[in-house]
Amino acid sequence: MEKLVFVLRHTDSDATESWCTALRTTVADHLVELGVAGVTVYVRDAVVHDALMRYATMDPPIAAVVTVWVEQSYGAAATAAADILGAVCAAAHGYLVTESVPLRLDDSIPARTEGFGNLAFLRRPAELTPEEWLSRWQGQHTAVAVETQSTFGYTQNVVVRAITPDAPAIDAIVEEQFPAAALTDPMVWYGARDAAEFQERVERMMASVARIGADRNLDTVSVSRYPVGNPFMVTNPAAVPKNTGA
Cβ atoms of 152 and 103 closer than 8 Å? yes
Residue 25 DSSP class: I
Question: What mean pLDDT do residues 24-32 have?
Answer: 97
State pTM to two decimals: 0.92
| Confidence tier at 52 by pLDDT (50, 70, 90) | confident
CA atoms 133, 135, 140, 141: torsion sign: positive
> Which pLDDT does position 233 carry in this prediction?
67
Domains along the chain with CATH numbers? 2-229 (3.30.70.100)
Confidence category of residue 17, pLDDT binned at 50, 70, 90: very high
16: left (phi over 0), alpha (psi -120 to 50) or beta: beta
Of the listed ranges 8-17, 51-60, 173-182, 221-230, the least confidently predicted one is 51-60
Which pLDDT belongs to residue 155? 97
CB 183 within 8 A of CB 76: no
Tell me: pLDDT of 237 over 60. no
pLDDT at 30 exceeding the cut of 80:
yes
The pLDDT value given to residue 8 = 98
Residue 176: C-alpha distances to residues 84, 180, 245 (Å): 26, 12, 15
Q: Averaged over 217-223, what is the pLDDT?
A: 95
DSSP state of 55: B
Within 10 angstroms of residue 53's Cβ, the number of other Cβ atoms is 13
CB neighbour burial string for 166-185, b if at least 16 within 10 angstroms, e if fewer: ebeebbbbbbbbbbeebbee
Average pLDDT, the chain: 92
